[in-house]
Chains A and B, each alone.
Chain A
């Protein structure tokens, strides 16, 4: 199997299982991430241990074909394509949460990361992990990949997200960005 993936264009879990599938020359569908849960243990800057645990069934009720769990050590990549100068612009609208920013990054930059992989630098210089529902107020955020992720050497992974504020909320654009159509309304 010679499939080369764009490491940033897929989720962390997909990247892990695609790499294993490629090394074992099996179909990725056989060990699809939906059958497993994942946890990550930092070994050192360049290595991480990925624990794969079989689920009894998927979130959709599908029975998993797997049992037991397995730990696999991964060598992290140096994120040389995202130098620290890399600034990724995201059109920002009032009330946009971390999850929406990351979804916009995926749509516009092919940058597929989850909030749990990223640390954000606060004004006092400390690094924190924000929940997906956190709503940033700063316009530019320094970010880096944390030690609790698999893909990238943390010390080389800093980048910035610039929130380009819009003066008026474009509802069409906003809905497109959040994509999932989760906005609901009710009259009471």
Chain B
């Protein structure tokens, strides 16, 4: 049954009811008082509460309680029309909040406005929200105290309260008597830590260097291209870089070992360093040749055109190119004896070849050997082979990669002799 109420009663509740009312949200709080004064039982589903209309002669806040025509919880009745209702809002000055600065002990001296309101709610148990107050940030340079002001539209509060300034602790009493500081425990932490040096190389434009840097590879003095690349950028950063067989105090990249080569790792690499760089080579300096260096050095690059098994091939080696060594005949003799299935590694006879290759090709041979080479053909050059210029007849030893770590897969390489 629709009802129309006009209620102006001074509310006098028992402490029990008052305490219960404080925990209600603002709208329910007003309806609770209204119900108490009118002997009704209207809930927030059936009626709305207007913003404060002003105050009456007794200083009470006036609002409209508006029935919204919704059926009641049992499908009966409901309310329409509106009733003017007056009640006393809580003056912030009368609530029990500490003003000696201890209010800030829990939330610190620089809380946000929301943290302040949360602390007010925690301490008072009032059912209020940030909307009950005028948003004001804590300013720690405000030496006269933080003033929390009620929003004029608040159904719950009026007035303001000064919450004081954060209490200042006595540093002399805070630090225990007899405490002695010491830096001796940090001994050994002074060494150069590469991980924190703001230097990062981009080697995208150097595909030959990228191919060379497979896991386990160690930088040699003959790695001229790689070292020059690092040196140029090291000079830009001021990092004193060397590639020296004599141990150096600072960063010496000689024998620095590739410990990772692959996609950027979420927990280890800086994905934001270069937007397009998606792969990284991580090098660990040698403990022998760079004893002071800690951490690792990273070389970043982009893999827009990553090497594939068919695109990336081993270089074609000819003994013409090896003729600069004194062992040209010995090399031809070696290759002629490489039967199909023979595995080349850095041990034994192949070590001799490695020396010759290194002299002729510098940076590449050792990297290839790391992956292991297997003889897949040895005999006269076939129509598919490319006989080097100047030679009419020629033999070819075809080599394939046995192990291809880190996505570096090479096609067959050919040695002509």
Which A residues have a C-beta under 8 Å from some C-beta of B?
Answer: 4-9, 15-16, 19-20, 23-24, 31, 36, 50, 52, 54, 57, 61-70, 72-83, 85-86, 88-91, 104, 107-110, 150-152, 173
Contacts and interface: CB of A to CB of B under 8 A. Distances in A.
Contacts, number: 139
Contacts of B191: 81
Contacts of B236: 173
A9 B196 contact: yes
Main secondary structure of the interface of B (DSSP, over half): loop
Contacts of A74: 180-183
A72 B180 contact: yes
A19 B182 contact: yes
Contacts of B140: 57, 61-63
Given A72-B181, A75-B183, A77-B183, A7 B190 contact: yes
Interface in B140-197: 140-143, 165-176, 179-184, 186-193, 196-197
Contacts of B143: 63
Interface in B44-99: none
A24 B187 contact: no
Contacts of B167: 65
Interface string B102-136: 00000001100000000000000000000000000
Nearest to A23: B179
8 contacts: A7-B183, A8-B189, A57-B140, A65-B169, A69-B171, A89-B240, A108-B197, A150-B183
A75 B182 contact: yes
Nearest to B191: A81
A48 to B, nearest CB: 9
B248 to A, nearest CB: 11
Nearest first, the 4 A-B pairs at minimum CB distance are A81-B190, A108-B238, A74-B181, A61-B141
A20 B181 contact: yes
A112 B110 CA distance: 29
Nearest to B240: A89
A132 B168 CA distance: 34
Contacts of A76: 183-184
A30 to B, nearest CB: 9
Contacts of B180: 72-75
A64 B240 CA distance: 42
B208 interface: no
A151 B183 contact: yes
Interface string B181-219: 111101111111100111000000000000000000000
Contact of B141 (A7, A23, A57, A67): A57
Contacts of B190: 6-8, 79-82
B182 A66 contact: no
Interface residues of B, number: 44
Given A52-B171, A78-B187, A151-B183, A86 B238 contact: no
A50 B181 contact: yes
Nearest to A89: B240
Nearest to B175: A70
Interface of B: 109-110, 140-143, 165-176, 179-184, 186-193, 196-198, 235-240, 249-250, 292
Given A54-B171, A82-B190, A83-B249, A65 B183 contact: no
B189 A6 contact: yes
Contacts of A54: 168, 171
Contacts of A70: 171-172, 175
Given A81-B187, A110-B197, 6 more contacts: A62-B140, A65-B166, A68-B173, A72-B179, A88-B240, A90-B238
A67 B167 CA distance: 10
B174 to A, nearest CB: 8
Contacts of B249: 83, 85-86
Contact of B181 (A75, A82, A109): A75
Contacts of A110: 192-193, 196-197
A7 B185 CA distance: 10
B400 to A, nearest CB: 45
A70 B240 CA distance: 42
A65 B238 contact: no
A104 B179 CA distance: 35
Nearest to B249: A86
Contacts of B169: 65-67
A154 B364 CA distance: 49
Nearest to A170: B236
A78 B192 CA distance: 16
Contacts of A52: 171
Given A20-B181, A61-B141, A81-B292, A5 B165 contact: no
Contacts of A66: 168-171, 174
